[in-house]
Chain A
Amino acid sequence: MSAALHPASAPALAQALSTPHSLPHTAADLVAQPWLASLLGVGAIMAFLTLNVLFLIWAERKVSAWIQRRMGPTEVGPYGLFQTLADMLKLISKQLITPSHVDRPLYLLAPLVVFAPVVVAVSLFPFAPGLAVTDVDLGLLLVFAFAGLGIIGIFMAGWGSNNKYALLGAMRSVAQNVSYEIPLILSALAVVLLASHPEGVTLEAGTPSAHTVPLLGTSLAHITLAQEAQGYWFVLVQPVAFVIYFVAALAETNRAPFDIPEAESELVAGFHTEYSGMRFAMFFFAEYTNMLVVSMVATVLFLGGWDGPLLPGPVWFFLKTYTLLFGMIWVRWTWPRLRFDQLMRLCWGLLVPVAILNLLGAAVLAEVL
C-alpha cells in the first residue's frame, strides 16, 4: 500500500462516502424524521456526558485517594459512587451570586461559551461502525475547531469577572492554549498523512463482503478504518506523535502539571474565581468533557478507535478512552506543577520542533508504507 499524498479523485471519494458499507451511518438514518433524529442524538449525548462527568469526578477523587493512601468518598452509595450526585444537588441549590462590577454580558455568557462547543465536539465521534451522531468527512478538523473555542469562553470569564486573579488565570490559560494547540495539531497531522489512502484499501479482506474504499485522513471513521485495514494501530508507527499529543492534550485541558491557569495556591481558582453554583458547575462540566474529547481523539488517532478482537466496537472504544483518562488522572496526582517559563520552554523549545521533525518523518513513512 503506498502513498498518502497522491492526488485524490473527487468523484471517487464522493461515491465512497455514499457507499453503504464503507462508512458508519449516522443516527439520522435510523429514524425517519431528521429533526427527531437530531433531537434524540443531542439528548443521548447530553445524557452520556452527564454520566461521564459524574463518573470522572468520582474516579478522580478515588484515584487521588489511592495515590495518597486515603479512602476517598465512601459515604454516599456503594464505594461513594453517588457522592458527585450529592455534590451536584448542592450546587443546584446554591444561590447564584453576580458580583457588582462585572461586565454583565460577558460574565453571564462565558459558562455557555465554554460549555457548548465541547458538546458539539463529542457528537462527531464514531463509537462503532454505524454508530455516530453526525458523521462528516471533516470530523477531525471540526473537533479541533470546536474544542479550540472554549478558550474564548475562558477569556470572557476572566475578563468579565473584573477580578485580578480571574484575569491572570485567563491570560495564562489563553497563552498556554494558543501555544500547545500547535504541537497538538502537528502530531495529529502525522496520523492524517498515514491514514489517507485516496487509491483505496481493502476492508474485511478474506471475507465474502470484502471491498475496496478510498480513505480520507480527516474523517474520524476513515482513520479508524485505515488502522483496521492495515492491522496495526498508529501508536506503533507514531509513538513520538502519541507522546506529544498526550502532553499537549494535558496542557489544552488545563490539567496538572499544566494547571497554572487555575493554580489554587496562587490564583484562588483562576478564571472562574467569581463564579458560584451552577455557573461554576458548567465550567467543571466543560473541563471534564474536554478531557473526554481529547482522550477520544487520541483513541481514534492512535489506538484504533473501535477496532479490537472479540468485544463489540463501543466497548473497545470506551475501554481505550477511559484508560487514557485514567492516565490523565494519574499524571495529575503524581507530577508537580510547572512554572510558567518552564511551560513555555517545553512547548516552543521541545514539543514544536520535535513535532515538526516527526511530521516530516511521517510524510516519508507514508510514502514508504
Chain B
Amino acid sequence: MFEQVMFWLFGAGAVVTAGMVVAPPFNRNPVHAALALIASFFCMAGLYMLLLAHLLAVLQILVYAGAIMVLFLFVIMLLNLGDHELGKQSSSVGQMIGLVAMAFVTSKLVVTLATSADSLPHGADPAAPEALVRDGFGTVATVGDAMFRHYLVPFELTAILLLIAVIGAVVLAKRNL
C-alpha cells in the first residue's frame, strides 16, 4: 500500500517535471527547465529507492542533482541568454520527427510493460519485492563487488573514455597553453 502510494507520487512527479523541462510554457526559461530537470531526477531517485537500488538512488542525487545540474545552472547563469538569443521554436519538420520518435518509444514501452508481468519468477509475489532479489541487493558492497570484479574491464575502459573526454575538453578550451 505504502509502496503503491509512493510509486504513484514519484512516478507522476517524474513525468510532470520531465514535461516541464520541454513543454512550451516553461521551456522559454532555461533556468526553470534546468530546475524542473533536478526535480525530475529527485523523483527518479525515489523510484530507484522503491526498486531497492539504494546506492543508485543516492548516486542519482549526489552526481546528477547535486553536481552535474549545478554545473548546468552555472553555465546558464554565465551565458545569461535572452529570448532573442535562444531563437525561435524549432521548425515543424523537427517537431514531426520528434513526435514520430516519441510515438515509437511510447509504443515500445507499452508493449514491454504489458508483457513484463509474465517475466516475474514463477510464484513470485510482486507485492513483496524483497523476496524477488538476492540478499544484499543494491547495497554498496554488492554494487562494488559487481563493478570491480565482474565488470572490471568495462569499468576501466569507461574511466579511460572519460579521461580522454576531459583531456579533449581542456585542449579545446585552452588552444594556446
Contacts and interface: CB of A to CB of B under 8 A. Distances in A.
Contacts of A13: 136, 139, 141
B175 to A, nearest CB: 20
A151 interface: yes
Interface stretch (B65-73, B85-93, B116-124, B162-170): B65-73
Interface string B55-90: 100110110011101110110011000000000000
A216 B141 contact: yes
Contact of B149 (A7, A151, A218): A7
Given A8-B145, A10-B145, A138 B70 contact: no
Given A145-B61, A216-B140, A14 B135 contact: yes
Contacts of B55: 138, 141
A295 to B, nearest CB: 20
Interface in A95-115: 103, 105-106
Contacts, number: 90
Nearest to B143: A10
Contact of B35 (A136, A151, A156, A174): A156
Contacts of B149: 7
A170 B71 CA distance: 13
A11 B32 CA distance: 44
Contacts of B38: 152
Contact of A148 (B62, B77, B78): B62
Contact of B77 (A10, A155, A198): A155
A199 interface: no
How many of chain B's residues touch chain A, expressed as a range? 20 to 34
Nearest to A192: B140
Given A151-B70, A152-B70, A159 B145 contact: no
A218 B140 contact: yes
Contacts of B69: 152
A152 to B, nearest CB: 6
A9 B144 CA distance: 11
Contacts of A11: 135-136
B43 to A, nearest CB: 15
A158 B59 CA distance: 26
A8 B31 CA distance: 43
B70 A10 contact: no
Nearest to B42: A149
Contact of A170 (B35, B61, B77, B144): B77
Nearest to A174: B74
Interface in A147-176: 148-149, 151-152, 155-156, 159, 167, 170-171, 174-175
Contacts of B71: 178
A10 B32 CA distance: 42
A137 B139 contact: yes
Contacts of B136: 10-11, 13-14
A145 B57 CA distance: 10
A178 B140 contact: no
B35 A106 contact: yes
A60 interface: no
B77 A167 contact: yes
Contacts of A175: 74
A193 to B, nearest CB: 12
A45 interface: no
A10 B142 contact: yes
A365 B153 CA distance: 25
Interface string A164-208: 000100110011011001000000000000000010000000000
B93 to A, nearest CB: 33
Interface in A111-147: 136-138, 141-142, 144-146
A14 B54 CA distance: 14
A177 B69 CA distance: 13
A142 B135 CA distance: 22
Interface string B102-125: 000000000000000000000000
Per CB-CB distance, the 7 closest pairs between chain A and chain B, nearest first, are A10-B136, A8-B141, A145-B62, A148-B66, A14-B136, A145-B61, A10-B142
Interface of A: 7-11, 13-14, 103, 105-106, 136-138, 141-142, 144-146, 148-149, 151-152, 155-156, 159, 167, 170-171, 174-175, 177-178, 181, 198, 216, 218
Given A7-B149, A14-B135, A106-B32, 11 more contacts: A9-B141, A10-B134, A105-B32, A106-B31, A142-B58, A148-B66, A151-B70, A152-B65, A152-B70, A174-B77, A175-B74
